[in-house]
């Protein structure tokens, strides 16, 4: 196999890893933010919940930033097109994301009811909205997006933002993503929290896990009737990365299941997703919190790889000009760039994972309300 093709495939896999890391770590923060008003009935409880995630939200958020940077570098045309085509929701995503760091740092620094209540709402919005948008992006991409390119590679949008904002399938994917984040956030609150936060978080997390499993099943049935995209022209995986002049692409209902039908072993991905959600929920019922947390990560990995496998090699199909669809073959960076990026990823990802684990280890143990309200460094 050509080196360039191998690099493209490696980066497609790394894209999946990145999206999974983002979903697990940022999703966990978002889940805590969404649940804040519900697991904490008074100010002291809410501060306790906030300080459970307090030492980690900033590090976790870098997954989101790295997501932006890595897609920019490894899939420049995908970055350029998807962020612009989804402009309205991307901007809403940014608005809600930028509220969060400020909310963490500022909420407890003023002792006034209205001030804190305002920031608590900011946590709810900035927790729930990004997760819904995150899931909805997957839904929209599965359905195909209206865009085409001019000869210089400039994109042109062919559909109104309403069509991807008010898309029932995408909204359903958004709710699933929110459910998984509530599962992950709730599980982390159980790990570090004491009563009454613990029991409330357990209830929400269990509901999140079950709801996600139901939507995952419904989504699977929906996708089996959804229009999928298939190459009909000759495909050259080592092609120069440009969406212009690519092979012909046809649209068939149910085509997203082709990869599964051709390679039945791949069904392991959705199975993993279900195992994560269902066994995870069971684990929480049995108070097996650490196992539950890791099964939440498995649920995300299963879900995201299910979508990735269904679409491979498509990344963002064009519904209005299918032959200009973005794929793993036509939207990556150059071989030289992918090589350098791979080098940095191989060196730094293990380093990042080790110090992140160490940070969680240092801050291990239950977070108690009495220490929070007396600790000058707490949120």
Partner 1 sequence: MPLIDPTVVDLSRLQFALTALYHFLFVPLTLGMTMLLAAMETTYVITSKQVYKDMTQFWGKLFGINFAIGVATGLTMEFEFGTNWSMFSHFVGDVFGTPLAIEGLMAFFMESTFIGLMFFGWDRLSKPAHLAITYLVALASNLSALWILIANGFMQDPEGASFNPDTMRMQFNSFVQLVFSPDAQAKFVHTSIAGFVTGAMFVMGVSAYFLLTNRHKEFAARSIRMAAVFGLISTLAVVTLGDALGRLDDLLQPTKIAAIEGLWHTTTSPSAPWLLAALPNDKTQSNSLEIGIPYVLTPLITHTLDKPIPGLIDLESAAGPKILNGIKAINALQQYSTTHDAASLAMFKQYEDDMGYGFLAQQNAPNQDLNAITPAEMPAVVQQTELDTVPNVFVTFWAFRIMMFLGFYFIALFAFMAYFSLKNQLENNRFLLKLCTISIPAPILACEFGWITAEAGRQPWSVYGWLPTFQAASSHSVGYMVFSLIGFTLLYSLFIAAELYLMFKYARLGPQSHDHAAPVAGTGALPMFAKPGFAAKSWE
3-state secondary structure of 271: helix
257/342 with CB nearer partner 1: 342
96/281 with CB nearer partner 1: 96
- Long-range pairs of 260-267 with CB within 8 A, sequence gap ≥ 24: 260/309, 260/310, 266/309
155/312 with CB nearer partner 1: 155
90/255 with CB nearer partner 1: 90
CA 270, CA 374: separation in Å to the nearest integer? 46
Work out how close the CB of 227 gets to partner 1 at its nearest, in angstroms, rounded to a whole number: 26
127/270 with CB nearer partner 1: 127
Containing H/E element for 108? none
Work out how close the CB of 226 gets to partner 1 at its nearest, in angstroms, rounded to a whole number: 26
Q: Are 256 and 310 in contact (CB under 8 A)?
A: yes
CA 321, CA 219: separation in Å to the nearest integer? 25
Work out how close the CB of 208 gets to partner 1 at its nearest, in angstroms, rounded to a whole number: 25
Residue position matching structure tokens 């309205």: 88
Work out how close the CB of 1 gets to partner 1 at its nearest, in angstroms, rounded to a whole number: 21
73/203 with CB nearer partner 1: 73
Work out how close the CB of 229 gets to partner 1 at its nearest, in angstroms, rounded to a whole number: 21
Work out how close the CB of 73 gets to partner 1 at its nearest, in angstroms, rounded to a whole number: 3
CA 21, CA 184: separation in Å to the nearest integer? 12
CA 286, CA 272: separation in Å to the nearest integer? 20
Work out how close the CB of 374 gets to partner 1 at its nearest, in angstroms, rounded to a whole number: 5
104/216 with CB nearer partner 1: 104
69/254 with CB nearer partner 1: 69
The b/e string for 201-229 (b: 16+ C-beta within 10 A; e otherwise) is bbebbbebbbbbbebbeebeebbeebbbb
DSSP 8-state assignment for residue 36:
H
Q: Rg for the chain (alpha carbons), in Å?
A: 21
Containing H/E element for 104? helix 87-106
Q: Are 59 and 29 in contact (CB under 8 A)?
A: no
Work out how close the CB of 180 gets to partner 1 at its nearest, in angstroms, rounded to a whole number: 22
The angle that helices 43-53 and 113-143 make with each other, rounded to 10 degrees, is: 50
């Amino acid at each position: 196999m050509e080196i360039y093709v191998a690099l493209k495939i490696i980066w497609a896999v790394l894209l999946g890893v990145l999206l999974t890391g983002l979903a697990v770590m940022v999703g966990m923060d978002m889940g805590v933010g969404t649940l804040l008003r519900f697991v904490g009935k008074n100010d002291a409880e809410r501060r306790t919940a906030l300080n459970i995630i307090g030492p980690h939200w900033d590090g976790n958020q870098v997954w989101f930033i790295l997501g932006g940077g890595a897609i920019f570098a490894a899939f420049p045309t995908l970055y350029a097109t998807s962020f612009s085509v989804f402009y309205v929701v991307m901007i809403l995503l940014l608005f809600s994301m930028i509220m969060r760091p400020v909310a963490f740092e500022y909420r407890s620094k003023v002792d006034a009811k209205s001030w804190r209540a305002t920031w608590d709402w900011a946590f709810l919005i900035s927790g729930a909205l990004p997760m819904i948008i995150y899931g909805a992006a997957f839904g929209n991409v599965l359905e195909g997006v209206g865009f085409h390119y001019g000869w210089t590679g400039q994109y042109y949008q062919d559909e109104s933002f309403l069509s991807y904002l008010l898309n029932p399938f995408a909204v359903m994917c958004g709710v699933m993503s929110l459910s998984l984040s509530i599962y992950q956030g709730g599980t982390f609150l159980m790990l570090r929290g004491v009563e009454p936060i613990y029991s409330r978080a357990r209830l929400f997390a269990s509901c999140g896990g079950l709801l996600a499993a139901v939507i995952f099943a419904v989504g699977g049935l929906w996708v089996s009737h959804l229009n999928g995209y298939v190459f009909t022209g000759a495909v050259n995986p080592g092609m120069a990365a440009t969406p212009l002049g690519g092979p012909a692409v046809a649209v068939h209902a149910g085509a997203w299941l082709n990869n599964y039908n051709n390679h039945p072993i791949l069904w392991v991905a959705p199975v993993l997703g279900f195992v994560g959600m269902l066994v995870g929920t069971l684990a929480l019922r049995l108070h097996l919190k650490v196992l539950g947390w890791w099964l939440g990560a498995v649920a995300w990995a299963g879900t995201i790889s299910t979508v990735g496998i269904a679409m491979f090699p498509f990344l963002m199909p064009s519904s209005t000009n299918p032959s200009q669809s973005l794929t793993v073959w036509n939207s990556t960076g150059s071989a030289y760039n992918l090589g350098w990026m791979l080098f940095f990823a191989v060196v730094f990802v293990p380093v990042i994972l080790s110090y992140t684990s160490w940070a969680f280890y240092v801050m291990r143990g239950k977070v108690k309300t009495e220490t929070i309200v007396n600790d000058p460094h707490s949120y």
